[in-house]
Amino acid sequence: MDNDNKPTKFCYPYPHAAITADCIVFGYDPNKTLRVLLVKRRNEPYKDCWAFPGGFMEIDEDLKTCARREVMEETGMALGEVFQFRSYSAVDRDPRERVITVVHFAFEALAEVKGSDDAAEAQWFDIDNLPVLAFDHRTIIHELFEFLEDVIYNDLFFKYSPEGIPMDALSKLTTDILHLKELEHPPIDDDTL
């Protein structure tokens, strides 16, 4: 590594997995249903399918920086607090190459978004009316819903809730998350795409 702490070369002769950061951004408004920010993919694989904002980590950034950068590049939205959720490493989760993703999540006030970079569109979707999702994103969001439900029941939700959120919005947010358990979120079969 040079003085800037940037790697100057790779020193291992075997192939490496690519690392991505995906970010599930929940939009809240006390008068609306909880929403999720999705982007329509401009490129293959899964061209024209909806997915979480995210992408490949650059060599000189950490995962949270990558998640924030990708959301900004693809939607124009600057994120506040971002929480790391879980990693996903199924060998075949991405048809392009071996990709490990680290999923993050954030809660933000609903804001105008616009698709940019490799996202053809960006849009908020009601959590109980999500479209078909690319990759393994349906499974990921289902597992995040289960995690958030456990967090609420264990009084840890305040650790993950956005700063400055009014109590009525926080109450609506927790009600919406608890409602998620009633929703059906089956994994998507790739043959349906």
Say if residues 150 and 107 touch (Cβ distance below 8 Å).
Answer: no
Locate tokens 């950061």: which residue? 21
Locate tokens 């999540």: which residue? 105
Say if residues 39 and 76 touch (Cβ distance below 8 Å).
Answer: no
Q: Pick the catalytic residue: 74, 81, 97, 121? A: 121
Rounded Cα–Cα distance for residues 174 and 13 (Å): 49
Angle between helix 137-153 and 167-179 (nearest 10): 120
Active site residue 121: yes
DSSP-based three-state secondary structure for 107: strand
DSSP class of 95: S
Q: Which amino acids are annotated catalytic?
A: 121
